[in-house]
Chains A and B, each alone.
Chain A
Amino acid sequence: MAEPATRRDVPATYGTSLVDLLDRVVSTGVAITGDAVISLAGVDLIRLDLRLLLVGIDTAIRIEGPT
C-alpha cells in the first residue's frame, strides 16, 4: 500500500487494529443461512462477545496495516 499522500500533514491517524480486523471479518461479510451451511461451533457466540467487547475496548493493540 502506498504511503497516504496526506499522512504527514493531517491530524488523522492511520492503521489497522486487531479490533478493526475482527469487526470486519467476524461481524460483516455475507452470512449464509440455511441447512447447506454448518456454522463453526461457537462463532455466533463469538459475535455476541465481540459486540460487548468492542464497545469498551480501545485500539491500543495495533498491528501492521494491510499491505
Chain B
Amino acid sequence: MTGTHRQPYAYAFVRADTEVADGLTGIGPQPAPIRLLRHGSLGVLVSDVDLERLNGLLDTDLTEDGELAVRAREHDHVVRAAAEHGPVLPFRFGTVLRDDAAGDRLLAEHHDTAVALLAHLGSRQEWGIRLRAQPRTDDEPSARDRGSGTSYLASRARRLRDLDRQSVQARETAEAIRQDLVAWAADTADRPKRDALLNVAVLVEPSAEDDFLRYVGHLAVRAADAGLLLDVTGPWPPYSFSPAELEARDG
C-alpha cells in the first residue's frame, strides 16, 4: 500500500443518468469531489481517498465525535444525497477500489444484476422496527415484603412463573407483529436481533410514509400491551436490502 496514492472509495451503485449535486464531496479529512463512473446504464459513485489518512479507524473510540462516527456519517451523507436523485444500492463502509479501471470492471460484471436491483428498490426507503422488553420495575420483592421464609419462596416461585408467562407472551407478540409487518410491506428484511425480540427493516414508498407510521403506531400500542417497547428508525437508504456480497476480479 502506498502512501501518496489516491484510490476511488465507492459509495453506491446508481443509475448512470443520476445527477451528482454540485459541490458534493466524499469521505476523509480532505474530502475530494464525488465522481460518477459509468458503464452502460449503471454507475458507481466514488471519491478519491488517501488510504493512509483513513487508516487508524480501529483506534478510534465510539463516540459522537470519534473518527469512525464522523467517517460513517460522511459515507451516509453521500448515499443520502444520491438517493434524492434516484435509486441507490449502497456499498458497505470501507470499500476502496484499486483504480477507476477496477471500477469499470465492477460495473461491467454486475451491470444486469445491479440495474435490476435498482429498478426493484426504486425510490423506496428503509425503516427499522425494533421490539424490546420494557425495563422491569417490579423485580425482586424487597426484604420488607418477604415475610417468612416459606411465603418468600412461594412469592418467588409465583414471580418466576409470571416472568415465564410474560416472556412467552412477549415472544408471541413479537412474532405476530413481524408477520403483520411482512404482510403490510412488499419487502422486509430481518436484521440481527442482538438484545431485541424483533429487528426488522421495511421498505416504504415515500408517498406511503404516513400510512406506514400510522400502522406502526397501532403495532406500538399492541406491543405496549404485551410489555414491549417498539422503536422506529428511519428513513434510511436501503442498506439492509443490498446484496451481502458481490465479487469483482482484477483483470
Q: Is the CB of B54 within 8 A of A36?
A: no
- Return chain B residues, CB-CB under 8 Å to A46: 57-58, 68, 94
Tell me, in angstroms, the Cα distance from A18 to B194 when the chains sit together.
16
Q: Which residue of A lies closest to B66 (CB)?
A: A18
Tell me, in angstroms, the Cα distance from A13 to B224 when the chains sit together.
12
Q: Is the CB of A33 within 8 A of B247?
A: yes
Chain A: number of interface residues, binned into ranges: 35 or more
Tell me, in angstroms, the Cα distance from A54 to B76 when the chains sit together.
19
B80 to chain A, nearest CB (A): 7
- Return chain B residues, CB-CB under 8 Å to A14: 231-233
Kindly identify which residue among A2, A18, A35, A66 contacts B80, using a CB–CB cutoff of 8 Å.
Answer: A66
Q: In residues 93-125 of chain B, which contact A (Cβ within 8 Å)?
A: 93-98, 102-103, 105-106
23 contacts between A and B (CB under 8 A): A5-B214, A6-B217, A11-B229, A15-B233, A18-B62, A20-B233, A21-B72, A24-B236, A24-B240, A25-B75, A25-B90, A27-B192, A28-B92, A29-B91, A31-B246, A33-B245, A33-B248, A40-B94, A41-B1, A46-B94, A61-B64, A63-B64, A66-B235
Q: Give the interface of A toward B (CB within 8 A).
A: 1-2, 4-6, 9-18, 20-43, 45-46, 49, 53-57, 61, 63, 65-66
Q: A30-B246, A35-B250, A46-B94 are in contact. List 8 more A-B contacts (CB 8 A).
A: A9-B217, A10-B216, A21-B73, A24-B236, A28-B242, A30-B91, A43-B94, A66-B235
